[in-house]
Amino acid sequence: MKSVKVLQVLSIILFLKIVESTKLVDNKCIPPNFAPRIIGGHNARRAPWMAYLIRNGGFVGGGSLIAYRFVLTAAHCSKPNEALIVRLGEYDLTTTRDGKTEDFRAMNIYRHPYYNAVTQVNDIALLKLDRPVIYSATIRPICILLNAGLRPFIKAIRKFTLTGWGQVSRYHRMPTKLQQMTVRQYKYRHCYNQPEKLCASNPAQFACKGDSGSPLGAPMYFNGTTIFALFGVASTVTANCKAYGIYTDILHHTPWIVETMQQHWF
């Protein structure tokens, strides 16, 4: 028992050391100011990084603002050279009283070069916006940790928060307000043994239609403060909404994310 406690302490110390040397994609990402909603979800407080993706006037999925010109989403939510509108600052679709929203055109869409539409491997894409985003209280980026060495520790996180405009029930229409719910992480063998994926579910609440591309995150301690970090992008949910949700592992793809943004920053 004593040796187990020693190992736990050493693991925590190692984790903190790794975090100390970790950088963020955008240092202007903010601490969470909303309580940790989709099937069985609840109305969320604001998540200022949320992106509402629109194609031909209709909702196609969610995304996350990660830098002043880039939004991260699932590759299957977008197609190269298509006309895609990215709305930031959205919360309640039925009113404009909840704050100002801004619509951007996806000037370029960069899907992962090894994305497989059949297996959904590398289901991740970057959307470059047609103009820089001016950050505000309702529009700010989510934090992404740039250290692949954190992956073993992230695999040990028990609970994540999923946020989006997905259905709150199999038998209900899409919600008009942003939803959020807590999901539990499971070992990736539940997700068809794909180590580049995260696997999560909630016995009482299910992610369902409309959640694709939405962020899976968790609060964590970072250099003296608590941040809300992005760890997954909603990729696959079965048609009956009752199975595990499969999420693209962000830490596995940070090299591609950084390289793509650097190549297309200007």
Please determine, for residue 123, whether its predicted confidence score (pLDDT) is greater than 70.
yes
For 89-121, the pLDDT digits (tens) are 988 777 766 668 899 999 999 999 999 998 889
Tokens 């028992």 belong to 1
In this structure, the answer to whether residues 81 and 136 fall within a common structural domain is yes
Tokens 């959640």 belong to 211
In this structure, the answer to whether residues 181 and 223 fall within a common structural domain is yes
| Counted domains in the chain | 2
In this structure, the answer to whether residues 241 and 151 fall within a common structural domain is yes
In this structure, the answer to whether residues 192 and 105 fall within a common structural domain is no
In this structure, the answer to whether residues 109 and 155 fall within a common structural domain is no
Please determine, for residue 85, whether its predicted confidence score (pLDDT) is greater than 80.
yes
Does 25 fall in a domain? Answer: no
The pLDDT assigned to 92 comes to 78
Helix (H) or strand (E) holding 18: helix 2-20
Does 39 fall in a domain? Answer: no
Query: Looking at residue 66, which CATH number applies to its domain?
Result: 2.40.10.10
In this structure, the answer to whether residues 68 and 119 fall within a common structural domain is yes
**pTM greater than the 0.85 cutoff:** no
Does 4 fall in a domain? Answer: no
Does 197 fall in a domain? Answer: yes
In this structure, the answer to whether residues 152 and 122 fall within a common structural domain is no
For 127-186, the pLDDT digits (tens) are 999 999 999 888 999 999 987 677 777 777 888 888 888 765 554 566 678 888 888 887
In this structure, the answer to whether residues 195 and 181 fall within a common structural domain is yes
The pLDDT assigned to 259 comes to 95
Band (pLDDT 50/70/90 cuts) for residue 71 is very high
CA distance 223 to 8: 21
Does 23 fall in a domain? Answer: no
Print the domain residue range for 205: 145-251
CA-based max dimension of the chain: 61
The pLDDT assigned to 88 comes to 95
Does 95 fall in a domain? Answer: yes
Please determine, for residue 33, whether its predicted confidence score (pLDDT) is greater than 80.
no
When mean pLDDT is compared over 110-114, 212-216, 226-230, 242-246, the highest value belongs to 110-114
Q: Which amino acid is at 102?
A: E
CA distance 76 to 119: 11
* Contacts for 7 with CB less than 8 Å, ≥ 6 apart: none
Does 29 fall in a domain? Answer: no
238: region left, alpha or beta (phi > 0 left; psi from -120 to 50 alpha): beta
The pLDDT assigned to 79 comes to 83
The pLDDT assigned to 105 comes to 96
7 phi, psi to nearest 5 deg: -65, -40
In this structure, the answer to whether residues 212 and 149 fall within a common structural domain is yes
CA distance 83 to 182: 33
* Contacts for 5 with CB less than 8 Å, ≥ 6 apart: none
Does 22 fall in a domain? Answer: no
Give the angle subtended at the CA of 265 by the CAs of 262 and 266, to the nearest 5°: 135
- How large is the average pLDDT for residues 235-245? 65
Beta strands in the chain (DSSP E): 23-24, 42-43, 50-55, 58-67, 70-73, 85-88, 102-111, 125-129, 145-146, 159-164, 179-186, 197-201, 215-222, 225-236, 245-249
In this structure, the answer to whether residues 239 and 184 fall within a common structural domain is yes
Tokens 């992956």 belong to 151
**Which residues pair with residue 229 across a beta bridge?**
143, 218
In this structure, the answer to whether residues 60 and 188 fall within a common structural domain is no
